[in-house]
A = this chain, B = another copy of it.
């Protein structure tokens, strides 16, 4: 089935909207949360379990999959869905974010002064063609270009793919940011052209850039909206705090084609979801709930629970009454506390099942609230 976005309801209270993305692997109800399964697996869970949780979209990273297992293995397996045994939709990124994080350090590193460029040795050359870098797996040189990124994403066969873009550092002067944006636009156009040679039922989302420069963001929205992308992701530096991010998105989102789905890259904590769904964002990917789970931080409707805290030791009920996840159905908070204290792998899996189920339910409730014009 061809990719299609259906707008079901526009809130009367905000820009929040309820929609439905149709893909050949099923429906994604929006707004929705997208869990990160970098290497083709949500850490600690097998994909049968993830499907059962009802996670409608999973985010895999082209950079990682390109190096391990490599494009050819996934192609031979019959695509990523078959290789990893996922029946529901998948989105892949372009690899741009990771290679430029290698070059410049991540935005988070930069903002937190954790020392950017720590891994710059791996990036060998950046020019108009693309980026040469050295594989951390086997030391071979790899060229990532708009064309090779799309070729990889074709081999993977994700339902939604993303054009190759440049991720400029957060601290950059206006001139450099403008030149970076212009290159990103050329790269996205090349990516789109490459994609359109054989769409294969995949959708391609543009990535809006421009950092925290309002004028450049607007330019990016204009430029990309004029191209026949199937949806619009918002990437690059979204700001050094939630206020900067909200201000940028408040201005940018209304400039994107309303009839197409949009996606916010890399943001999906609970506070951001509450703040940004009203701005009209449709999907959000983040490793927040799965990483939190592995650190023993359990999400509930009354806030988070730190599983290792002493007060959990004798809580023989589930993490949360009424939760229908298999962890809460079968195991007590006391047992989870014990597994975390004993550093048992099982703890990570059980906590991840709970947190992902919470996110699925959270987004269901948000859609319900929008439908009732309460958001």
Contact = CB atoms under 8 A, between A and B. Distances in A.
Given A77-B316, A330-B85, A46 B350 contact: yes
Contact of A40 (B47, B48, B338): B338
B341 A41 contact: no
A373 interface: no
Contact of A44 (B64, B73, B335, B346): B346
Contacts of A292: none
A172 interface: no
Interface in A266-325: 313-314, 316
A3 B258 CA distance: 70
B346 A43 contact: yes
A156 to B, nearest CB: 13
Interface in A30-83: 39-48, 64, 68-69, 73, 76-78, 83
A339 interface: yes
Contact of A41 (B41, B316, B344): B344
Interface centre among A332, A335, A346 (most CB of B within 10 A): A346
A331 interface: yes
A83 B332 CA distance: 7
A: contact size bracket: 35 or more
A84 interface: yes
Contacts of A331: 46, 85
A326 interface: yes
Contacts of A229: none
A95 to B, nearest CB: 16
Contacts of A335: 40, 77, 83-85
A48 B326 contact: yes
Contact of A39 (B68, B78, B332, B338): B338
A335 B65 CA distance: 12
A76 B316 CA distance: 9
Nearest to A331: B85
A349 interface: yes
A307 to B, nearest CB: 12
Contacts of A327: 46
Nearest to A39: B342
Contacts of A47: 330
Given A69-B337, A83-B334, A84-B335, A345 B44 contact: yes
Given A313-B69, A316-B77, A46 B346 contact: yes
Contacts of A326: 48
A232 interface: no
A145 to B, nearest CB: 24
Contact of A68 (B64, B316, B341): B341
A73 B338 contact: yes
12 contacts: A39-B344, A40-B335, A42-B346, A44-B346, A46-B346, A64-B342, A68-B341, A73-B334, A76-B316, A77-B332, A77-B334, A78-B316
Given A69-B313, A77-B332, 16 more contacts: A39-B344, A40-B335, A41-B339, A42-B346, A43-B345, A44-B346, A46-B327, A64-B342, A68-B341, A69-B341, A77-B314, A77-B334, A78-B316, A83-B334, A83-B335, A345-B348
Interface of A: 39-48, 64, 68-69, 73, 76-78, 83-85, 313-314, 316, 326-327, 330-332, 334-335, 337-339, 341-342, 344-346, 348-350
